[in-house]
Amino acid sequence: MVAGVLASLPRAALSIVAAIAGARTIGDRGIMAGLLVVALVVTLGWVVLAWRHHRYLIGPDDLRIEQGILSRQVRAIPYDRIHDVALREPLVARLFGLAEVAFDTGTGGKDEAKLAFVTRDEGARLRDTVRARRAGVVDAPADATMVQEQEVARTLFVLTPARLLLFGIFEFSLVVLAVLAGAAQQLDFLLPFELYDWREWREIGGGPLHWLLGLGLAVQVVAAVLGLLLLIPVGLLTGIVRTALRDWGFRLEETSRGLRRRRGLLTLSDVVMPLERVQALVLGTGLLRRRWGWHGLQAISLAQDSKDQSHTLVPFAQMAEVAPVAALAGLPLPGEGQAWQRASAGWRNHRMVLSAVLPGLIGLGMLVLPLDLPAGAALPAAVSLWLVAVVLAFRQYYLWRHNRHALADGLLYSREGWLSPRLAIAAPAKLQSAELRQGPLARLGQYADLHLGLAGGTLALHGLPVEQARAIHSALLARMAAVDFSAANLHAPDPPAT
């Protein structure tokens, strides 16, 4: 109960600050103390009632969880619907030797059921019992601590502290400034000045600001550049801290149940992703990190933890380290001699025109329409907009040159992006749907978009020549129809192409 209250404090921080600020206006300390005592008693009473009404039962066929005070909720989850059991240890729970147990049922990345918190031993017992019952061991004990499964786990990837530091540098982020801005907006009633009044900011700046404004434009530009440079260490530190909190101790292992991933500094997570539930892999990189060969590998899977939209398998590694993991998942990376195909030229031309038409028309309107502009300003403004239109059009051209796809060896490959390329690898037998889409322009240009259904993500091929799109669509449907999802081993290779 104590851990639950402490864990909920960050979510209630804004309400607590607002309540304290409102209580200060009362002035009478006796009344303030009385209100705080009443609030504390009510809160603790509610927590105790919630704890007494939150129960779970490991039955012979399913797991049942009952919770709720005014509105009761009872969940019954058959064991064959539970893909795996994940243990997480947030910082508050670790202080009390507790853990959170999340039962993954593959419901679009959300946990069907969660128990927060139980002791570490109880969490391990629940995990082992549910796994045993799911495997068909009906006499697995539910009232005694089970001996954890002994298996040899093969280490696939480890993120060392030195590489974690380098990864954090590449994860440059200014999100801390956004957080501070959001907090200032929410708590502006506590500030001693008006946040959005520039005159008050000028008074706060005082003498140094007036001194800077009197030194001329060149000095002001230099000061602005120095101010921007000060953001660099802030962004680097933010990226390093965020990366360390998320991926400290990152370890990926191969086990008999699938790929086991453990990571986290303050919040420890231990999840297992069954290989047969991997639908696709996504290999990504960044504008700078690609120059040194650093990539990250994620899996789009039916079995996902609720904290991620996809499973991170390898967060920061070279291709030689990524390739074995992809091959183990049954979705190997394409070879050097892979025959790639591009979207149709008609789709490319339409994209170029559509991206350039708006700035081009605005620039033309500045010359034709009687706008109230300074003398001689219309033509430079129009030319600037036309240059923007040309840049946008050539951007679509370069994207077309770098976006490619291929259907080979029973796998679908899709490469997208120019500065930060992204490669998606999908197993057709594990796709849930394949849909052809054609709008008016697509029918005119004889091309189509192919949208593929994934439980944990999206994948689409844009601008395919219509005959090629229909051929790929038919091939994918044949592979999907050849698999009986109610009984098939999804990790088996795809049937040969016809």
Phi, psi values for residue 284, rounded to 5°: -130, 160
Q: Are residues 59 and 39 in the same domain?
A: no
At 27, the amino acid letter reads: G
How many whole angstroms separate alpha carbon 182 and alpha carbon 187? 9
Helix (H, G, I), strand (E, B) or coil at 28: coil
How many whole angstroms separate alpha carbon 430 and alpha carbon 329? 13
Which residues touch 33 (CB under 8 Å, ≥6 apart)? none
Instruction: Tell whether 129 is covered by a domain.
Output: yes
Q: Are residues 71 and 44 in the same domain?
A: no
CA dihedral sign of residues 87, 91, 97, 100:
negative
Instruction: Tell whether 212 is covered by a domain.
Output: yes
Q: Are residues 33 and 65 in the same domain?
A: no
Task: Pull the structure tokens for residue 26.
Answer: 């009362």
Instruction: Tell whether 91 is covered by a domain.
Output: yes
- The last residue of a domain, from among 239, 265, 281: 239
Residue-by-residue DSSP string for 393-417: HHHHHHHHHH-EEEEETTEEEEEE-
Instruction: Tell whether 318 is covered by a domain.
Output: no
Helix (H, G, I), strand (E, B) or coil at 365: helix
Which residues touch 310 (CB under 8 Å, ≥6 apart)? 282, 298, 299, 300, 301, 304, 456, 457
Model pLDDT for residues 1-41, shown as the tens digit of each residue: 888 777 777 766 666 666 666 666 666 667 777 777 777 77
Q: Quick one: angle between helices 231-247 and 175-186, nearest 10? A: 90
**Is the whole-model pTM more than 0.85?**
no
Range of the domain at 469: 413-481
Reduced to 3 DSSP states, what percent helix, strand and coil does the chain have, rounded to the nearest 5?
45, 25, 30
Q: Are residues 19 and 65 in the same domain?
A: no
| Total of domains in the chain | 5
CATH code assigned at 67 = 2.30.29
Instruction: Tell whether 362 is covered by a domain.
Output: yes
Q: Are residues 115 and 142 in the same domain?
A: yes
Helix (H, G, I), strand (E, B) or coil at 258: strand
Q: Are residues 69 and 139 in the same domain?
A: yes
- Cβ atoms of 415 and 403 closer than 8 Å: yes
Q: Are residues 383 and 445 in the same domain?
A: no
The strand pair at 457-465 and 447-454 is best described as antiparallel
Instruction: Tell whether 81 is covered by a domain.
Output: yes
Q: Are residues 376 and 428 in the same domain?
A: no
Instruction: Tell whether 116 is covered by a domain.
Output: yes
Q: Are residues 143 and 227 in the same domain?
A: no
How many whole angstroms separate alpha carbon 365 and alpha carbon 343? 33
Mean pLDDT by 10 residues, the chain (498 residues): 77 64 64 74 81 87 87 86 82 88 68 80 87 70 45 86 94 74 60 60 58 64 77 88 93 89 89 84 92 93 55 93 94 90 94 94 86 77 92 93 89 90 90 90 93 80 93 89 58 43
- Cβ atoms of 395 and 330 closer than 8 Å: no
Q: Are residues 143 and 88 in the same domain?
A: yes
Helix (H, G, I), strand (E, B) or coil at 194: coil
- The 10 Å CB-count burial string (b at 16+, else e) for 40-49 is eeeeeeeeee
Instruction: Tell whether 288 is covered by a domain.
Output: no
Task: Pull the structure tokens for residue 52.
Answer: 């007494």
Model pLDDT for residues 40-49, shown as the tens digit of each residue: 777 778 888 8
Q: Are residues 60 and 129 in the same domain?
A: yes
How high is the pLDDT of residue 283?
Answer: 95
Determine the distance from the C-alpha atom of residue 170 to the mean position of all C-alpha atoms in its chain, rounded to a whole number: 17
Helix (H, G, I), strand (E, B) or coil at 223: helix
Q: Are residues 46 and 61 in the same domain?
A: no
- Residue 58, Cβ density class (10 Å: 0-12 exposed, 13-18 middle, ≥19 buried): middle
Model pLDDT for residues 417-457, shown as the tens digit of each residue: 888 899 999 988 888 888 999 999 999 999 999 999 887 66
How many whole angstroms separate alpha carbon 233 and alpha carbon 250? 25
